[in-house]
Structure 1
Amino acid sequence: MIIGTVVTKNNLAQAKVLAQSIKRFNPDVRFVVSLLERYTDQDHTEYPFFDKVVLASKTWQGNFDQVIFKYSAREASCFAKALLIDYIFTHYPNEQQVLYLDHGMEVLAPLRDLRSRLEQCSVLLTPQHLYTGAESHDVGNGAYHSGLIAVSRTTSGLGFVQWWIKRLERYSFMENDRAPQTPVEPKWLDLVPGLFEGVEVLKHPGYNVASGNYDEREITQAGYSHFRANGETLYIKHFDRIGEQERNANDPEYAKQHPALATLIKQYTARLDGFGWDRSYSAPWSYQFYNSGEPINSSIRLIYRNNLFLEQKYPDPYKLSNEFFEWGIFGEEPPAVMAEPEPSLDQSAIRPSLVRQRRKKPQSRSMIKREKKVRLHNRNKHSRMASTATVKLLHARARRSGASKKIISRSYTVSHKHARPFGNLTALYRGSVKSR
């Protein structure tokens, strides 16, 4: 078996804790890290418990930069996990089992039970919850947790991996209309049991214990490093929301009510601190910047993701800039990026005809709508003023011709509501002239 994870530079300490725990209980298992950064350094490659560190861009033959540009670091990690599983199967042809674990997890016991289960199936999924009562949460977030997925080298298992890659290539984003934001990626797993053969749901309380299912799993301690969940061996613990969990563990009242869980969290955070997690957590993501070093606005990622024209015309968006996309959203040709002139260049020697004049930036949609509203208001205002003047003119002619004011006003009111402005008034006026 090979275990893999996807990590960015700021979460490298968590990946080291995970690797250490894997080697402690499963020394024969190899651990592969997919680094979601543009480059590697000595700290990434020389950690002894990392059997292999590969850049995420090397795990796929497609246009990696174009896809990653659409996503945030968390969204991109969801896409990269499917690529990593496929990469391991391709580059380790003798391996029959691959287990993906999120970098925020820790292995707390030998995984012989999981290996034996995977020998009997193609895909192994872990549910968010094992009992009724919290299913309303699963409807919105997905029934299965994508942080723990095991796949065996079967026709069905390999087919699942390829299917998952294609789905996450375009649909690995966060749902921004919900609070808190939730990834779309786990929801695809809800379809897996119906689409593929040999899918098993791992209904064991000792796997994927996380803050979202603490209420249904009682954690107890039997020795310094042996923990149980609902009386069964705790194999894998997910330390999500680590800051919140650390505060809870340091709360005396919480530690009194959940002593084993508080001990587990404190041990994990101590190991994180030993790997310098507090220093590396704020490290910037290298895919957050254009090639020029300019930070990418989150709105620009959304614009590029939802505009197929931009994707097709600009397959390498990291060469561009925020200003470039602000023009492109209006369907216009963005201004060319012009190099800064050399300091020693004589500016007076440049002829004005050779200098490209920058066009005026197009108005935003809100400004266009506001201008249309003002024009409509002014037109209606002038129409009302002209209509009032016309009625007064007709009333004056009526007095001279002896016609009734009420007849003229009634004719104007009824006809003007459904006709073009002044159309019936003009006809009425012409009729009065002809009658004279």
Structure 2
Amino acid sequence: MIHFFTSAASNYLPKVRLLCNSIKKYHPEVTVHLALPDRKPNWLDLNNEPFDNIITVEELDIPNLKPWMFGHTLVELSTAIKPFVVRKLLSFENSEAVLYFDPDMVLFSRLDDLLDIFKTHSIGLTPHQTKPEKSIEAIMDNEISSLRYGVYNLGFVAVKNDLNGNAFAKWWSERLYEFCREGLNQGLWTDQKWIDLAPAFFEGVKVLKSSRFNVAAWNITTRKMEGSLENGLIIDGEPLGFYHFSGWDSGAHKVMASKYQGTNRALMSLLEWYEKAETQDPITSSTPWAFGFFDNNEKITKQHRLIYRLRPDLQKAYQNPYQVSEGQCYFNWFNWQAHLEHPELVGNIENQGISTENLISSYRQGAIDWNLIKRYLKRAIFDYKYGYKLSIKTIDIIKKSGIKGLSGKVRKMSK
């Protein structure tokens, strides 16, 4: 049995449906799974969806799951779970191979030639580029980007259920458990950069260079698209296998495609089709990411995640960082201590929106926010360093401007 899967949160379902419908159209014989780095919403009914199965993040047997998830943004988590899903699907009875497709992909023909690689290879990868660029501008836009983000595009990966394929999946999951980061300054870009090492570490890696696979804005410069949606799209003389609409939501995809192939009617028609087909569902688009908020519905910021990820002591002390209570919890620790212990990340009292005036009082249409005052006074009581800074700054303002001056400052700040 062959398994296809994608990974996406609930709000990405319009794209997921397009992908899965295309898989079912051309490969009805495979089993299609949605890996959900999210909680399954009540409205999601598998009977009405074009995928056969849902695998939630809780089903992946990932150690220390809540602390691990908390340390990741949505993009990081969606990519970090991929090798764990591969391993799970490879463990299924009669599983022959697993293929991953990004949710913003669509199939346009059967992929039998791709599946044939498993006769001789264990791992299939698609490079961002398969031919050298010819202009300096395209080199900068595409080849240099590949040097930064990774040679291979991990919108697609194929893994056979053999010793080599399983060893690869295990290695990949171990690396992503610790290092699935959007960190170009650290030489990382989620799951992609690690795969630059795969051909050196593992035998049986097939680099898929066919122009019909993983066509995208970053390689359309060196590929010729012809035909039409009605009669079939052709890439360098072959049927289009699958197209990658990466960067669609930001508008980057259309900008780059128009820049290099704006006169190609076949390509422009394809992009027009996707824009109409990828219609937003009000229910899905309004569904927030379940792991994007603390239990009190306060939004989790990148600073919350980064500091928690950097501090094993905090992970040990607050094993459920999402939980909020009156006493000791990560939410309160961050509000009371983060700016003191990590000013380089969240700033100090003066330069990161935690001004002394803010901490004394907040005005909402001329009224004092007493809950905020209570929160910061409590913080001052339990944190003497913070309380000292607060009192010194308050006294300094009163000396210079008096009580009216202090009042005026907080009112002006709150506007």
| TM-score after normalising by structure 2 | 0.74
Matched with 2:210 is 204
Which one of the candidate residues 303, 306, 314 is aligned to 1:302? 306
Candidates 294, 297, 304, aligned match of 1:293: 297
How far residue 331 of structure 1 moved from its aligned partner, in angstroms, is 6.7
Partner residue in 2 for 1:40: 41
Aligned with residue 360 of structure 1, among 367, 383, 393 = 383
Which of structures 1 and 2 has the bigger CA Rg? 1
Shift of residue 60 of structure 1? Answer: 2.4
Which ranges of structure 2 fall in alignment gaps of 5 or more residues?
A: 134-138, 324-328, 343-377, 394-415
Q: Which amino acid aligns with 2:168?
A: F
Q: Is the 8 A contact 1:246 1:266 kept in 2?
A: no
CA distance in 2, matches of 1:85, 1:66: 22
Task: Identify which range, 210-219 or 122-131, moves more after superposition.
Answer: 210-219
Query: Aligned partners of 1:182 and 1:15: how far apart in 2?
Result: 26
Task: Report if aligned partners of 1:2, 1:99 keep a CA contact under 8 Å in 2.
Answer: yes
- Local SS of the residue matching 2:192: helix
What is the CA–CA distance in structure 2 between the aligned matches of 1:157 and 1:65, rounded to whole Å? 28
Match of 1:260 among 237, 249, 266: 266
Query: Does the CA contact (< 8 Å) of 1:118 and 1:150 recur in 2?
Result: no
Instruction: Using the TM superposition, give the Cα deviation of residue 129 of structure 1 relative to its aligned residue in structure 2, in angstroms.
Output: 0.4
Q: How does 1:99-248 map to 2 (within 5 A)?
A: 99-133=99-133, 134=139, 135-175=143-183, 183-221=189-227, 224=230, 226-243=232-249, 244=251
Letter in 2 for 1:69: F
Instruction: Determine whether 1:95 maps to 2:95.
Output: yes
Shift of 1:87: 1.5
Counterpart mapping for 1:322-337 below 5 A: 322-327=331-336, 329=338
- Against the structure 1 CA distance between its residues 357 and 51, is the aligned structure 2 distance closer, same or farther, given a 3 Å change threshold? same
Question: What is the CA–CA distance in structure 2 between the aligned matches of 1:126 and 1:89, rounded to whole Å?
Answer: 21
Deviation of the 1:43 alpha carbon? 2.6
> How big is each residue's C-alpha offset from its partner over 1:195-230, in whole Å with a ceiling of 9 and x where there is no partner?
111111111111111111121112111561511222
Change (3 A) 1:236 1:362: farther
What is the CA distance between 1:110 and its match in structure 2? 0.7
Q: Secondary structure of the residue that 2:381 maps to in structure 1?
A: coil
> 1:82 and 1:358, CA in 2 relative to 1: closer, same or farther beyond 3 A?
same
Change in Cα spacing, 1:363 to 1:17, as seen in structure 2 (3 Å) is same
Aligned to 1:413: none
Quick one: percent identity of the two aligned structures?
Answer: 26
The AA in structure 1 aligned to 2:288 is: P
Partner deviation per Cα, 1:114-134 (whole Å, 9 max, x = no partner): 111123211111101012234
SS of corresponding position for 2:100: strand
Deviations 1:315-354 (A, max 9, x none): 221114533224454579xxxxxxxxxxxxxxxxxxxxxx
| Larger CA deviation: 166-175 vs 236-245 | 236-245
Aligned in 2, Cα 1:132/1:59: closer, same or farther, shift over 3 Å? Answer: same
Is 1:318 the counterpart of 2:322 in the alignment?
yes
Deviations 1:150-179 (A, max 9, x none): 00001111011111111111211112659x
Measure the CA separation in 2 of the matches of 1:156 and 1:322: 43
**How far apart, CA to CA, are the structure 1 residues paired with 2:257 and 2:45?**
31
Distance 2:287 2:42 in 1: 14
Supply the AA of the counterpart residue of 2:158: A
From the superposition, tell whether residues 218 and 293 of structure 1 become closer, same or farther in structure 2 (CA, over 3 Å): same
Whether the 8 Å CA contact 1:75–1:183 is kept in 2: the answer is no
Which letter maps to 1:175? G
Mapped partners of 2:294, 2:174: distance in 1: 26
SS in 1 for 2:382: coil
C-alpha distance in 2, partners of 1:250/1:124? 26
Q: Which amino acid aligns with 2:307?
A: I
Amino acid at match of 2:176: L
Contact 2:318 2:330 in 1 (8 A): no
Contact 2:126-2:214 within 8 A present in 1 as well: yes
State the alpha-carbon separation in 2 of the partners of residues 98 and 36 from structure 1.
18
Q: 1:307 to 1:225 in 2, by over 3 A?
A: farther
Q: Distance in 2 between matches of 1:212 and 1:283?
A: 31
- Going from structure 1 to structure 2, the CA distance change for 1:361 and 1:194 (only over 3 Å counts) comes to farther
Q: 1:282 to 1:228 in 2, by over 3 A?
A: farther
Within 5 A, what are the aligned runs for 1:388-407?
Answer: none
- Show structure 1 runs of 5+ residues with no match: 333-354, 372-436
Kept after mapping to 2: 8 A contact 1:249/1:266? no
Please name the residue that 1:6 is paired with.
7
